[in-house]
């Protein structure tokens, strides 16, 4: 089992067992409730083969998971929805502990959410479904149980899940949870998973975090958050490593049931825009069907009826996912694994954003100095003007669509003093890599 993740003295790099560590996570939020032992072993083998290093899991029930009825529950329940928090199920926590043991034996670091926002008063999720807000007097025993169950695995404690901090009630509760985690799971790194497209992490929580997580999310109109939030968190005080811990998921439908799904090219764009804009400590991948553990014949939602009450829909609300075994084969996972290899080849150097070299400011194009190289993510094939004379450099394009093909790119100094990077020959997005010519 690996030791706990620590933070390098540069305040930007994560370390594991003393060496630079790239956070390549997969979101499998509902693992402890929805997955059979055989499925879990298959999942671990597959993600290990692909090079993933971190698993983001929810310690309690993921409120918006697939609505499949065969699930395990951490607390006594009569309807599979509402919990009696005074009656934790020891078998649930023992089984989750056994699942974690198999995961760390495979080399994974676990990033465990302590309390998703639906259990917390006055958050966006508890407004939708208020029946499972954890009573204040039960916060301490629940957090203690979570920490005592999982602390032996050296996890990252993700204190909050998909939360906003807009109300004093929510902030007070998460301050309480943070202090309890520090008491019952000491010496382990902490972070906060906040809601999509938000940089709202109050100063108290920033001071208690070891690194910053943000969520660029699943709203089609909000995809520029991949780089705008990276820039905001990278500039924040205190300085911390930054990770986009929930970009758009491959094959997930757009938020608010807007027609369409995010494809491989969308998830790849989110990846490179995040890394080169300041979220340089790693990246999280998500496959729609894996995070919620969808099965072919299982409903995406459950409809729960109680006498005298309106029916309650419980489950995830996006376009229906393909089954978990199909989602586990989505090709975008390979793009994220490639990014980890690219990062490790250049470690300990990290990308330093340098948008100022672009003569025509196009924010979707991201430029960074990375050691001795300039790395530019070009989402659309077009000539790219650079500030100044780059005739002392050579440039090549790396095809990101899966083939890994490389091709030279022309650099032509213009009469106005700028340099024109020519078009590369590839059909989709590419990395442009500029290196100083040793003969110049």
* CATH number of residue 360's parent domain: 2.60.40.1180
Residues 264 and 396 in one domain: no
- 324, 346, 368: which is the final residue of a domain? 346
Residues 34 and 174 in one domain: yes
pLDDT tens digits for 337-365?
Answer: 999 999 999 999 999 999 999 998 789 99
Residues 44 and 188 in one domain: yes
pLDDT score, position 128: 85
Cβ pair 301, 313 in contact under 8 A: yes
pLDDT tens digits for 370-414?
Answer: 999 999 999 999 999 999 999 999 999 999 997 789 999 999 999
Residues 341 and 362 in one domain: no
What's the structural domain count of the chain?
2
Query: CA dihedral in degrees (103, 108, 113, 114; nearest 10)?
Result: 70
Cβ pair 120, 161 in contact under 8 A: no
- 321, 346, 371: which is the final residue of a domain? 346
Residues 286 and 149 in one domain: yes
Q: How far apart are CA 430 and CA 160, in angstroms?
A: 35
pLDDT score, position 264: 98
Cβ pair 53, 21 in contact under 8 A: yes
Q: Which of 213, 175, 208, 215 is nearest to 192 (CA)?
A: 213
Residues 254 and 358 in one domain: no
Residues 82 and 133 in one domain: yes
pLDDT score, position 110: 98
Residues 143 and 206 in one domain: yes
- 322, 346, 370: which is the final residue of a domain? 346
pLDDT score, position 297: 76
Residues 13 and 94 in one domain: yes
Residues 415 and 285 in one domain: no
Helix (H) or strand (E) holding 232: helix 225-234
Q: How far apart are CA 80 and CA 294, in angstroms?
A: 17
* CATH number of residue 312's parent domain: 3.20.20.80
pLDDT score, position 402: 77
Residues 194 and 72 in one domain: yes
Which residues of the chain, if any, have pLDDT below 50?
none
Residues 51 and 187 in one domain: yes
| Structural domain for 54, as ranges | 5-346
């Amino acid at each position: 089992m690996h030791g706990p993740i620590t933070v390098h003295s540069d305040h930007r790099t994560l370390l594991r067992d003393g060496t630079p560590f790239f956070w390549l996570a997969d979101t499998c939020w509902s693992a402890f409730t929805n997955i059979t032992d055989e499925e879990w072993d298959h999942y671990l083998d597959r993600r290990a083969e692909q090079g993933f290093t971190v698993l983001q899991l929810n310690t309690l029930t993921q409120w918006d998971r697939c609505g499949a009825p065969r699930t395990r529950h951490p607390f006594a329940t009569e309807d599979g929805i509402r919990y009696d928090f005074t009656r934790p199920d020891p078998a649930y926590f023992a089984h989750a502990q056994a699942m974690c043991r198999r995961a760390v034996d495979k080399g994974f670091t676990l990033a465990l959410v302590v309390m998703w926002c639906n259990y917390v008063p006055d958050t966006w999720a508890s407004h939708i479904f208020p029946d499972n807000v954890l009573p204040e007097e039960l916060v301490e025993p629940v957090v203690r149980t979570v920490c005592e169950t999982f602390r032996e695995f050296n996890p990252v404690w993700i204190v909050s899940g998909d939360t906003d901090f807009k109300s004093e009630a929510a902030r007070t509760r998460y301050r309480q949870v943070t202090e309890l985690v520090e008491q019952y799971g000491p010496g382990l790194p902490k972070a906060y998973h906040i809601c999509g497209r938000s940089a709202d992490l109050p100063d108290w929580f920033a001071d208690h975090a070891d690194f910053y997580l943000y969520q660029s999310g699943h709203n089609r109109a909000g995809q520029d958050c991949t780089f705008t939030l990276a820039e905001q968190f990278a500039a924040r005080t205190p300085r911390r490593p930054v990770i986009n811990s929930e970009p758009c998921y491959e094959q997930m439908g757009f938020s608010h049931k807007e027609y369409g799904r995010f494809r491989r090219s969308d998830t790849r764009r989110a990846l490179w825009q995040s890394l080169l804009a300041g979220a340089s400590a790693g990246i999280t991948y998500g496959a729609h069907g894996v995070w919620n553990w969808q099965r072919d014949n299982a409903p995406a939602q459950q409809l729960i009826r109680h006498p005298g009450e309106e029916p309650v829909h419980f489950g995830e609300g996006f376009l229906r996912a393909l089954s978990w075994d199909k989602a586990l084969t989505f090709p975008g996972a390979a793009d994220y694994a490639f990014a980890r290899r690219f990062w490790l080849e250049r470690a300990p150097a990290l990308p330093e954003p340098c948008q100022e070299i672009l003569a025509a400011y196009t924010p979707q194009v991201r430029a960074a100095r990375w050691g001795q190289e300039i790395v530019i993510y070009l989402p659309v094939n077009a000539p790219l003007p650079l500030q100044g004379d780059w005739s002392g450099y050579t440039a090549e394009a790396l095809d990101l669509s899966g083939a890994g093909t490389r091709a030279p790119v022309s650099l032509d100094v213009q009469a106005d003093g700028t340099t024109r990077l020519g078009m590369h020959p590839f059909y989709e997005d590419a990395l442009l890599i500029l290196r100083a010519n040793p003969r110049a």
